[in-house]
Amino acid sequence: AQSVAQPEDQVNVAEGNPLTVKCTYSVSGNPYLFWYVQYPNRGLQFLLKYITGDNLVKGSYGFEAEFNKSQTSFHLKKPSALVSDSALYFCAVRDVNRDDKIIFGKGTRLHILP
């Protein structure tokens, strides 16, 4: 069965520093991988996705993520954090060989400290 893990419940980063939010996954076949962001009292917003091709994927708001097949990871990164990046971040995976269901991680709360 497919699954996704976000090992950190919360990540604190000083403004201007680089940030990383970790995600690992497990699928039987090839993965489609996604990152979503949720601001308070809002629905989830799409940030970026990996389907195929270049392992480094660039997305919205200056975020990027690197697909690492050997480590089954898809960590979210940003070179310089902003206070406005503070939110709840979800990693998600879909098994290419299965149906359309996407499985979400439990989320990581990112706090950017001014």
What is the binding site for another protein (CB under 8 A)? 9, 32, 34, 36, 41-46, 49, 51, 90, 94, 99-107
State which residue, 49 or 77, has the beta carbon closest to another protein: 49
Cβ 77 vs Cβ 64: under 8 Å: yes
The nearest distance, CB 16 to another protein, in angstroms, is 29
Which residue lies nearer to another protein by CB, 6 or 86? Answer: 6
- Token match 């996705």: residue? 49
Q: Alpha-carbon distance 110 to 53, whole Å?
A: 28
25: which 2 tokens? 């996954």
Q: How far is the CB of 34 from another protein (least distance, A)?
A: 8
Q: How far is the CB of 44 from another protein (least distance, A)?
A: 4
Mapping DSSP to helix (H, G, I), strand (E, B) and coil, where does residue 7 land? coil
Would you say 86 or 108 has its CB closer to another protein? Answer: 108
Nearer to another protein, 47 or 81 (CB): 47
Smallest separation, CB 33 to another protein (Å)? 10
Distance CA 92, CA 72 (A): 13
Distance CA 30, CA 43 (A): 28
